[in-house]
A and B are shown apart, each in its own frame.
Chain A
Amino acid sequence: MARLLEVNNLKTYFFTDEGVVRAVNGVSWHLDEGETLALVGESGSGKSVTAMSILRLIPNPPGRIVDGTVLFEGKDLLKMSDSEMRSIRGNRIAMVFQEPMTSLNPVLTVGAQIREALQLHLGLDEDGANARAVELLELVGIPEADQRIKDYPHQFSGGMRQRVMIAMALSCNPKLLIADEPTTALDVTIQAQVLEIMARLATELNTAVLVITHNLGVVARYADRVNVMYAGEIVESGSAIEVFKRPRMPYTVGLMASVPRLDATEKVRLATIEGQPPLLIQEIQGCPFRPRCDWAIDKCATDHPELEEKEPGHWARCHRNPQTDERTRMPAGAAAAGN
């Protein structure tokens, strides 16, 4: 598979009154054509900032990309002019965000908005754009599409609006789709509808997808590979199957064990990760996860671990191996498990 996107040592900082927030602190990863990569991690770990950096949508001030390259089809997005970037955004690189109401213009009909995108990016005429817009709505399962196209966004349900966003995002046959919590606000049955449509279209068009989500089930179902973020860094990366089966970084171990499984017949006590992630304003000594880690040793307080290839294609940032090494501390919550 051909390399589509390559992020190298990306650093995005926010310069605030309280200090410098190192939101994304030197991340490197890649995405191949047609591949689906999931980005997971604790709230505030830098997932959205990573996505916004690729799209060059970081508010400045206070934010700035201070270092790194983002190669898309071999060209560095960070070096492009604003107008070059605008022609790529919404065209070669499409995006879907969490709240569809804010991404659609409330005073324009749904049809007008899809037509505009099609005319702008594909150069279709009025009639051509209209016909294609109806087709797209039908494609994402909106009944009576030729009528509904005259409606305004508020006349659509949340799930329908999100499907419209996906239709618009995929209307220009993008090479890359960035979806940041695309279904978090939706009900489970609607989530399933929307995600199935997204996955099907991506496969048909050979679109690569970067999906940011808190839902590990969604990762398990759709992602080829997973990147786990913690405190602005990638702490684990590998195939979804490997990362779920044998997580190599204690944060990932905790994350996996803290979600109840839908297919669990026995009641087991959930694992917890006590404490808080570090403030990104402070310079961090050693491993950022150390204060919350059940496997921490002395070295973790002083040496910042590198992202190492632990198994072929499976990378982790950890001095220990939680699959084989003994814990140095009882897992949080285990003491109370007796009652």
Chain B
Amino acid sequence: MAELTYREAVAAGIAQEMRRDPSVVFLGEDVAGAGGVFKTTAGLLEEFGPDRVVDTPISEQAILGAAMGAAMTGLRPIAEIMFSDFFAVCWDLVANEIAKTRYMTDGMAGCPLVIRSGNGAGLRFGAQHSQSIENWAMAVPGVKVVAPSTPADLIGLMAASVRDPDPVLLFEHKALYPTKGDVPDGEIVDELGKARVLRDGSDATVVALALMVPRAMEAADMLAADGIEVTVIDVRSLVPLDTATILASVAETSRLFTVEENPRLCGWGAEICSIVGEDGFWDLDGPIVRITTPHLPLASAPKLEDLALPDADRVTATIKTALG
């Protein structure tokens, strides 16, 4: 067991897979020589050399195109899109090309690749470098979407994503990079499509993702101090989605709250609410409540950014009010 930062876990996860499989290659802007703008990929160039760890021009379409063409022809590329906001300049490759290749070719061709990206707010970067776009991604049939919240999950889900025969978008949360966590020794391989119950409580189910997971856990502590016990579930994987774990928990607690960093409209939690509304309706004792960033662009001033994102206080207050 070792303690790693979430930042260090990125390189550890990529290195684990590159050591195992020579067809794994890694490309992106500033990822090799500089070790990544967030220093997440330091050491990879030194270990694997410039043929497998490639510094690219600022050409997001060229990056994802290269990853796709390579994936179709025998490699297992990992591509970095530096800030997830930049998906907007190469969304064609994600939504029209990579996601649809297997279906459009009726299974003849596939894109076993991973696109990893720095997602989310908390660093005061303003509206164009802070978005949580996991809900854009899950709206596209044909891509898998994961968003780990701990260093161990990051390594395990990275490995699962690289080994998966389908395209996976892996969202790292930028504000989690400095956080630390225990990481087991040896190879770590997780599973896509598995949520994790982090805490058990019978009064309500709280589902959260990425940076919202530690905030939901903090809120759970605060609620416990007031005698309210909640179950906290780290969703981890939006596609495939582990609805069984969520529905089973709602069957026990009868209440559901989502804690989402993405802006309100069509956020990932809306889909979970809809599923629970259809498949778990008779288990519910009260309204489902979504706690989200409002439907606003993000401001950069610390005070405004903090107001926009759900925090432990807001989660706590909302749950308390709803439970009466």
A and B together in one complex:
no
Query: What residues of chain A have their CB less than 8 Å away from a CB belonging to chain B?
Result: none
Chain B residues near A (Cβ < 8 Å): none
